Amino acid sequence: MQYVSTRGQSPAREFCDILLGGLAPDGGLYLPEAYPQVTRAELDEWRALPYHALALAVLSKFITDIPACDLKTLVDRSYTAQAYRWCRPGRDASDITPLTTLEPGLHLLELSNGPTLAFKDMAMQLLGNLFEYVLEKRGETINILGATSGDTGSAAEYAMRGKHGVKVFMLSPHGLMSEFQRAQMYSLPDANIFNIAIRGMFDDCQDIVKAVSNDAAFKAQYRIGAVNSINWARVAAQIVYYFKGYFEATRTNDESVAFAVPSGNFGNICAGHVARMMGLPVAKLVLATNENDVLDEFFRSGVYRPRATAETRVTSSPSMDISKASNFERFAFDLAGRDASVVRAWWGKVDAGGSFDLRGTPYMARLPEFRFASGTSSHADRLATIRATWEKYGVMIDPHTADGLKVALTRRESGVPMVVLETAQPVKFAETIREALGREPDRPRELEGIEALPQRVEVMEAEAGAVKAFIAARA
């Protein structure tokens, strides 16, 4: 399997090469040169597989430069009941992503049972093992530079802590994550983990990561890699649970389902898009945003208009306080018929601080082919949804999942199961849970008192040069 850049000016590369590299040299994002197709016979065979075996079946279509026996070992090590043990009472941890049925035809797919209680673990646990394996094979080391709005950072750090040949430099917006999220990240004592709090929003952190990645000389000298969803391996791993969710929500492969996905950076729902392109029977992909509604605006109007930091709102679903959706470029590449020159023209405008408008173009006419729907959710909406879900079903959900469920309820179709991706556990956002329900969220006993642990973090201005200097002094 070869991978190509969305901007078309970098050579095709194999999986292990793009795993370590992050962004393509031309500033684009990697995608398979063609999406592998899943046959009906494969769907029939896969339906009965446990999660780790299903992951191997799916990932084998994308990872062709790791021997099959080695890939199986890495996948089996990544998806264990022990790692994903923090599921709801009565659920089987070995399912990895159990399905909670709220009512007939309406489900939650639990993706937050891993070490950091967020869906990012689903990919990051695998990435940690992949990085270590490839680096050891090549006799290399890597310095991972990432940005987080709350969950990616802790998932990456927990996956990479203590890994041979790996150091992690994680940027986060200063003071804008929940207390629990900060504690998860900043309390890790491991010598290979470095936290940097940037005075600004997540987009400022993400811009620094891209600026450093686009400095070819610095990237090569300090062996800079990426774990954000700009790294294709993240998206590939997330494809698996769309297949799993489909099988859990249906009885036969003659049915189709809708998935509702809280989305800020377009990475999670991008995996659903790829799964549909592979042949998974997806009737609709419902994208839910919070008050930062750049993506909803695009799917409603055809205008993609990223916001400046000053226009990005601080909300009670902070992991989606994003106004520049990196992975949207991957979808745009498919929307453009994989014409990289079109993508370069669009992102030339975006990178210059502008927007692009597809109204009246053939691309807008093609948009319905991809089966997206969208909607937004406000603070009042998520409080009401958290409260209603608790009162009606006895199920507690976090604010981001509430955004997804709120929009999902407006997009249901008769006879089509709706699967809402549950992205985090409520304890990560205790303040909002207290406001909605008047009680504390439950938390795993092992994580009691995490907020009181000593924390290590450097606070910096939003300047790529300062981050580079910090990395250079510690790489």
Helix (H) or strand (E) holding 372, with range, is strand 372-376
Q: Answer whether 127's CB lies under 8 Å from 136's CB.
A: no
Q: What are the C-alpha distances in Å from 242 to residues 214, 342, 362, 461? A: 32, 29, 29, 39
Strand partners for 372: 285
Task: Establish whether 406 is a catalytic residue.
Answer: no
- Could you say which DSSP state residue 13 is in? B
Angle ∠(161,164,166) on CA atoms, nearest 5: 65
What is the Cα–Cα distance from 84 to 110, expressed in whole angstroms? Answer: 10
What is the Cα–Cα distance from 194 to 14, expressed in whole angstroms? Answer: 29
Helix (H) or strand (E) holding 144, with range, is strand 142-147
Our measurement of the distance from residue 51's CA atom to the centroid of its chain's CA atoms, rounded to an integer in Å, reads: 19
- The one catalytic residue among 61, 120, 167, 428: 120
- Could you say which DSSP state residue 193 is in? E
CA-nearest of 89, 75, 76 to 425 is 89
CA-nearest of 379, 382, 413 to 396 is 382
Active-site residue set: 120
